[in-house]
Amino acid sequence: MSKDITRILKGWEYEVGEVSARIVRGDDGRDKIQLRVDMGLLQMEMDGRPDGTRPEGAESWLDYYIKEQQAHDAAHPDSAPFELSDEACFRLWREGVQYYHRYLSFWHLKRYDLCARDTERNLRLFAFVRAYARDERHRWQFDQWRPYVVMMHTRAVATPMVERGDLTEALRAIDAGIESIREFLDTYDLSERADQCAELISLEQWREEVLVAAHRSGKAHPTATAEVLRRQLQQAVAEERFEDAAALRDEIRRLSQSEEP
């Protein structure tokens, strides 16, 4: 059998700046996910580690080191806490990149449940490294990507909710993502740069779109509807549409009274 992959790539051109992925049936009868890259492709398993290996018999290096940490802390409750070595961090980083390639592929294939699964996994990875890496450089190497992964996780969770019209639940999920990114900024004293955080801006803009859609559909919680009306009021005042502004104030007042017990 030829090892030349030209036949596999034929008709599947690489487009710079575009993510192109597909799911194929493997020779073992199981589905595989393929991601087109320059001069080739990445083939990944759908479950477990994307490369299909089991390091030290564990599902992943993350699982392996979590068990190591738990065993260490149980055996040495009064000694120095468990620490991740440079080698461990290197292994975890390479593994995290594998999961990144896979959840990006899942996102573009609209497999939102699997994208949410893998993004949640990488967020657990970041938290584990934050807790146990002995070198601050390693902690930042991972954690600097937290806003991006939170954004992707939020979109993977909330997009199906939006598509089925469950806008209230979608707004809750989006709000949770926004809050998580703001917590990240607070942790690193970056709150003053919130207006430069692309991931935060993206989620806040999406939240506005979902709020408006919920308001128009009549499915919004009164609090969410009032928020949309307040923003419309600000715009009306800025544009000196005072009659519209007065009507909006009346509507906001009515909603506030309807929420009172």
What pLDDT tens digit does each residue of the chain (261 aa) get? 688 999 899 999 999 999 999 999 999 999 999 999 999 999 999 999 999 999 999 999 999 999 999 999 999 888 888 999 999 999 999 999 999 999 999 999 999 999 999 999 999 999 999 999 999 999 999 999 999 999 999 999 999 999 999 998 999 999 999 999 999 999 999 999 999 999 999 999 999 888 888 777 766 556 566 666 777 788 778 878 788 788 778 777 776 765 554
> Residue 64 contacts by C-beta under 8 Å, 6 or more apart in sequence?
55, 56, 58
Name which of 172, 191, 92, 186 is nearest 132 in CA terms. Answer: 92
Cβ neighbors of 77 (< 8 A, separation 6 or more) are: none
- Please give the distance of CA 59 from its chain centroid, rounded to a whole number: 22
Those residues whose C-beta lies under 8 Å from the C-beta of residue 40, and which sit 6 or more positions away, are 5, 9
Which pLDDT value is given to residue 222? 60
CA-closest candidate to residue 168, choices 223, 120, 117, 119: 223
Residue-level pLDDT at 228: 67
- DSSP, collapsed to helix, strand or coil, labels residue 163 as helix
| pLDDT number for residue 219 | 61
Structure pTM? 0.84
Collapsing DSSP to helix, strand or coil, 261 comes out as coil
Contacts of 122 (CB under 8 A, 6+ apart): 96, 99, 100, 103, 149
Distance in angstroms (rounded) separating the CA atoms of residues 177 and 183: 10
Find how far residue 103's CA is from the centre of its chain: 9
Whether the CB-CB separation of 147 and 181 falls below 8 Å is answered with yes
Beta bridge partners of 45: 32
- Separation of alpha carbons 189 and 175, rounded Å: 21
Q: Are 184 and 171 in contact (CB under 8 A)?
A: no
Q: What pLDDT score does 232 carry?
A: 73
Three-state SS at 35: strand
Q: What residues pair up with 32 in beta bridges, in sequence order?
A: 24, 45
